[in-house]
Amino acid sequence: MTTEFYIGGSWVGPAVPRTLGVLDPATEETVATISLGSAADVDRAVAAARAAFVPYAQVSVEQRLSYLERISAGFRARLPEIARTMTREMGSPITFSTERQATVALFHFDEAARVLADFRFEEEMGAGVVRREPIGVCGLITPWNWPLNQVASKVAPALATGCTVVLKPSEIAPLSAMVLAEVIHDAGVPPGVFNLVNGDGAGVGEAIAAHPGVDMVSLTGSTAAGVRVSQLAADTVKRVALELGGKSANIVLPDADLASAVVAGVHSCFTNAGQNCQSPTRMLVHRSQRDEAYAAARRAVEQVRLGDPLDPSTTMGPLVSRAQREKVTALVRSGIDEGATLVAGGPEHPDGRGFYVRPTVFGDVTPTMRIAREEIFGPVLSILLYETEDEAVEIANDTPFGLAGFVQSRDPGRARRIADRLRAGRVYFNGAPFDRSLPFGGYKQSGNGREFGRFGFEEYLEVKAVIGW
């Protein structure tokens, strides 16, 4: 079945046979074979979604809530299977896959139901009524690093608002999304409301972005991919929502508990093997605390357990692919070549099979170095030094990205003043947890639009004024 697509409520074969092996990044073995779709497959999926849209848009809130609740129940029943599937397709340690990857994906369906239950789709305003209506057919393009979290963060609000969906998960890690398609089917969601077509960016992603039958496209991916999708979508003036790259700064103020702040910052940067768009990959430390910070960073790296992702004691698995490993390794070498101090780790690959890299920390990094400017998407932390708060803010904002920021301090008022000056869509204070009811999205080249909670829900709605009613 992995070589089929889910279109119009059924699993169907591709228009043109073309396959790709899905690799386990820990063993480099092929664990499944999928089909790569084409524009013809997108045409079929869009046609199914268009035919389903008008009746589904009229479905009552109560019925949509029932669908979401059934999806959540089906997801919970298969959560161990989903977690193991993600471990096999993208290398996430099984404990992390279970407690974070799968669980946070499930949350989006619960959160969409929570928002839907109390949402006012009509309100009186001025001399009329303002209606919020589903935007239509939504093309959703998602990445491999959080293969179901990013799928669910788009699919859940789209279904909740009355939209229909054509999903292209990453061809690198598509298997968990296919399990979700089974869950949605078993929940009784009407045929054509949810459709899934596997494929690469050139064959399926671009066809979705350019398709005149798609009313909105939502992408999570690289900034380069976001630019390309925007260009393709422009001809049909469809709505485009983008969640793109990041190079987030973690400002450790001098009054913070330095050792605990640095250790927590290192581990946060290395979460999911550093394959996170909002990872705090630039740590800013006061120059007077340089040596103490480097010592704490070394201790943090020593706590990382690199190993078999199916071993519950493993805290870091491999990167998702050979290409990703080579990219990260090249950037580590660039840090050494440009004169940064190697505090821990390095470019040498661990022995054995799999796309593993060594968790790495650089010190004495300057804002012009590649490791301080480019999104590495691996377990690599750059520590930059500052003298004043103004300089710290200036360094933090000196980036084309603006997805997240982090501030560590014992003084909430001082930290808040810093947070208010950061040009980023989210700012975390002293290791605050990732709240998925609050809006998530970026400034500058980190994208546009917002996901999660009410803000993510409203991305899938059009606004209509009915005047003189």
> For residue range 26-80, what is the model confidence (pLDDT) as tens digits?
999 999 999 999 999 999 999 999 999 999 999 999 999 999 999 999 999 999 9
Residues 71 and 195 in one domain: yes
What SS3 string covers 343-391? Answer: EECCCCCCCCCCCCCCCEEEECCCCCCHHHHCCCCCCEEEEEEECCHHH
Residues 231 and 269 in one domain: no
User: Does a structural domain hold residue 439?
Assistant: no
Report, as an integer, the average pLDDT of 384-403.
98
pLDDT at 296 over 80: yes
User: Does a structural domain hold residue 438?
Assistant: no
Instruction: Please tell me what DSSP assigns to residue 71.
Output: H
User: Does a structural domain hold residue 277?
Assistant: yes
Report, as an integer, the average pLDDT of 428-435.
92
Of all residues in the chain, the percent with pLDDT exceeding 90 is: 98
- Whole-number pLDDT of residue 469: 78
User: Does a structural domain hold residue 166?
Assistant: yes
pLDDT in tens, 326-337: 999 999 999 999
pLDDT at 434 over 90: no
Residues 160 and 45 in one domain: yes
Reading the block at residue 65, the tokens are 């809530």
User: Does a structural domain hold residue 434?
Assistant: no
pLDDT at 317 over 90: yes
Report, as an integer, the average pLDDT of 139-163.
98
- Exposure class string for 285-311: b at 16+ Cβ within 10 A, else e: bbeebeeebbebbeebbeebebbbbbe
User: Does a structural domain hold residue 88?
Assistant: yes
- Whole-number pLDDT of residue 229: 98
Residues 77 and 215 in one domain: yes
From its phi and psi, is residue 188 left (phi > 0), alpha (psi between -120 and 50) or beta? left
Reading the block at residue 322, the tokens are 């050979």
- What is the H or E stretch that residue 281 is in? none
Instruction: Please tell me what DSSP assigns to residue 189.
Output: P
Residues 148 and 253 in one domain: no
User: Does a structural domain hold residue 437?
Assistant: no
CATH number of the domain at 321, please: 3.40.309.10
Q: Of 320, 329, 316, whose CA–CA distance to 269 is shortest? A: 316
Residues 362 and 288 in one domain: yes
Residues 376 and 409 in one domain: yes
- Whole-number pLDDT of residue 351: 86
SS3 251: strand
Residue 436: pLDDT band (50, 70, 90) is confident
User: Does a structural domain hold residue 436?
Assistant: no
pTM: 0.96
- Whole-number pLDDT of residue 214: 98
pLDDT at 152 over 90: yes
Q: Is 243 a catalytic residue?
A: yes
pLDDT at 298 over 90: yes
pLDDT at 1 over 70: no
Residue 10, judged by CB atoms within 10 A of its CB (0-12, 13-18, 19+), counts as exposed
pLDDT at 184 over 90: yes
Largest CA distance in the chain: 73
Residue 352: pLDDT band (50, 70, 90) is confident
- Exposure class string for 261-272: b at 16+ Cβ within 10 A, else e: bbbbbbbbbbbb
Tally of structural domains, the chain = 2
Catalytic residue among 111, 243, 375, 459: 243
Domain range for residue 180? 5-244+444-467
Residue 92, judged by CB atoms within 10 A of its CB (0-12, 13-18, 19+), counts as buried
Estimate to the nearest angstrom the gap between the alpha carbon of 46 and the chain centroid: 24
Q: Of 22, 18, 50, whose CA–CA distance to 35 is shortest? A: 18
Residues 254 and 166 in one domain: no
Radius of gyration of the chain (CA): 22
CA of 59: how far to CAs of 33, 160, 258, in Å? 37, 10, 54
Of all residues in the chain, the percent with pLDDT exceeding 70 is: 100
pLDDT in tens, 2-13: 999 999 999 999
Reading the block at residue 101, the tokens are 């990857």
- Give CA–CA dist 293/261, Å, rounded: 9
Residues 233 and 268 in one domain: no
Residues 240 and 316 in one domain: no
Asked if residues 11 and 102 have their Cβ atoms less than 8 Å apart, the reply is no
Cα 101–104–109 angle (5° rounding)? 130
In sequence order, the β-bridge partners of residue 10 are 7
SS3 77: helix
Neighbours of 462 (CB within 10 A): 14
Alpha helices in 58-148 (DSSP H): 61-77, 79-90, 94-96, 103-118
- Exposure class string for 401-440: b at 16+ Cβ within 10 A, else e: bbbbbbbbbeeeeebeebbebbbbbbbbebeeeeebeebb
Mean pLDDT of all residues belonging to the chain: 97
Residues 303 and 321 in one domain: yes
Residues 269 and 193 in one domain: no
pLDDT at 459 over 80: yes
pLDDT at 420 over 80: yes
**3-state helix, strand and coil shares in percent for the chain, rounded to the nearest 5:** 45, 20, 35
Report, as an integer, the average pLDDT of 237-252.
97
